[in-house]
Amino acid sequence: MGTAPASRDVTSYGMGLAAPLALFFLVFFVAPLLQLLWLSLHNDTAGLHWGVGQYLHFLTDPFSLSVLGSTLLLGAEVTAVCLVLGFPIAWLYQRVGPRLQTVIILIVLLPLLTSVVVRTFAWIVILGRQGIINATLQSLGIIDTPLKLLYTQFGVVIALAQVQMPLMTLPLITALGRIDPNLDDASCSLGAGSWRTFFRIVLPLSLPGVIAGCTLTYAAAITAFITQSLIGGGQMLFMPMYLYQQASTLQNWPFASAISIIFLLAVLAVVSVFTTLGRMSRGYGGA
């Protein structure tokens, strides 16, 4: 993906044009981040004693580590659900007429057009003890007692997957759209069945979209404070809520800062794993 020889070198435009955005980021992103780091390096809530005690506390505390673990696991589950459900939608989108494409795009985008609070309460209505699912199953006589859907890991994963689906589907649609439809035909004419064509041609060539979709979905799922808290309820604790409790309720700002930094590093680690996986495949950035 080299630049065309005729185009001007990017650096020759002068960095001055980037200054407004750079300044914005400096003031509203880099500075708070540094403040966060500074705060996290204090051993007491008053901020008088320097040290890495907050980090040691987090990393030696089984409860904190389990919250981190369950948050990262939650992200993986949501990402997996989105990928498995989103890929067929993106695949279908490339194979239907323009009118159906509009319908699919609308359906895909719909979660983004609804307020997060409204959407989350809708899920409570659907998943609750007297909710739509339980009521339907009971009236059909399939179950006697209501299933516990709300305040479960399952409920959180489903609700988050619905919300984050566009973040997965849109990059996939773009990636699949870039694949020359003749490649499908070529593979088929060479004797490959649909599954071989999918795994050897379509999937490797759509990998940039898969990576982008997974990264976005993952990052959005593990930081989704409202959905996690409302659907998960009080018994399930994930990092955003943990952080909120430490900062707002317990006023333990240094520990909250340390949690933030550790969470940030954990997310960066997972994202770089995604990216590395993509780079390892030759399909990445190809075509």
Partner 1 sequence: MADTPGGRSLVVDAVTHRYPSGALAVENINLDIKGGEIIALLGPSGCGKTTLLRIIAGFIAQTQGRIIIGDDIVDALPPNRRAVGIVFQNYALFPHLSISENVGYGLAARGVDKASRQREAQRLLELVQLPAMAERLPRQLSGGQQQRVALARALAIKPSILLLDEPFAALDKNLRLDMQIEVKRLQRVSGITTLIVTHDQEEALSMADRVAVLSHGKLEQFGTPSDVYDRPQTLFVNTFVGSSNRMPGVVVSADRTAAKVRLDAGAEIIARPAGGTLSEGGRVTVCIRPEHLQFVGDETGFAGVVGMSLPLGATVVHEVTTADGSGVKISQARIGETRALENGAAVRLAPLAPSLANAFPATL
Judged by CB under 8 A, the chain residues 85 through 114 that form the site for partner 1 are none
**Cβ 180 vs Cβ 205: under 8 Å:** no
Cβ atoms within 10 Å, residue 164: 27
Mark the segment that binds partner 1 (CB under 8 A) among 23-31, 66-74, 99-107, 196-204: 196-204
Number of CB atoms found within 10 A of residue 137's CB: 14
Alpha-carbon span 30 to 21, nearest angstrom: 12
Residue 156 CB, nearest distance to partner 1 (Å)? 36
Determine if 189 is a binding residue for partner 1 (CB under 8 A). yes
- 199: tokens are 């795994």
Q: Is 188 in the site for partner 1 (CB under 8 A)?
A: yes
Q: Which of 175, 205, 236, 237 binds partner 1 (CB under 8 A)?
A: 205
Q: How far apart (Å, rounded) are the C-alpha atoms in residues 199 and 202?
A: 6
177 contacts partner 1 (rule: CB under 8 A): no
* Candidates 169-177, 251-259, 263-271, 277-285; binding stretch for partner 1 (CB under 8 A): 277-285
CB-wise, 43 or 101, nearer to partner 1? 101
According to the binding rule CB under 8 A, does residue 62 interact with partner 1?
no
Asked if 32 interacts with partner 1 (CB under 8 A), we say no
Total of chain residues touching partner 1, rule CB under 8 A: 22
Burial group, residue 35, by CB count within 10 angstroms (0-12, 13-18, 19+)? exposed
The helix/strand/coil state of 100 is: helix
Smallest gap from residue 99 Cβ to partner 1 (A): 14
Query: For residue 112, which of 216, 196, 240 has the smallest C-alpha distance?
Result: 216
Nearer to partner 1, 2 or 141 (CB): 2
90 within 8 A of 169, measured Cβ to Cβ: yes
Taking the mean position of all CA atoms in its chain, how far away is CA 271?
10
Give the contact letters, 223-262, x = binds to partner 1 (CB under 8 A), - = no: ----------------------------------------
Stretch that binds partner 1, among 49-57, 124-132, 183-191, 264-272 (CB under 8 A): 183-191
DSSP secondary-structure letter at 47? Answer: S
3-state secondary structure (DSSP) of residue 122: helix
Spatial separation of the C-alpha atoms in residues 244 and 89, rounded to whole Å: 36
Q: Binder to partner 1 among 15, 140, 190, 280 (CB under 8 A)?
A: 190
Binding site for partner 1 (CB under 8 A): 180, 182-183, 185-193, 196, 200-201, 204-205, 281-283, 286-287
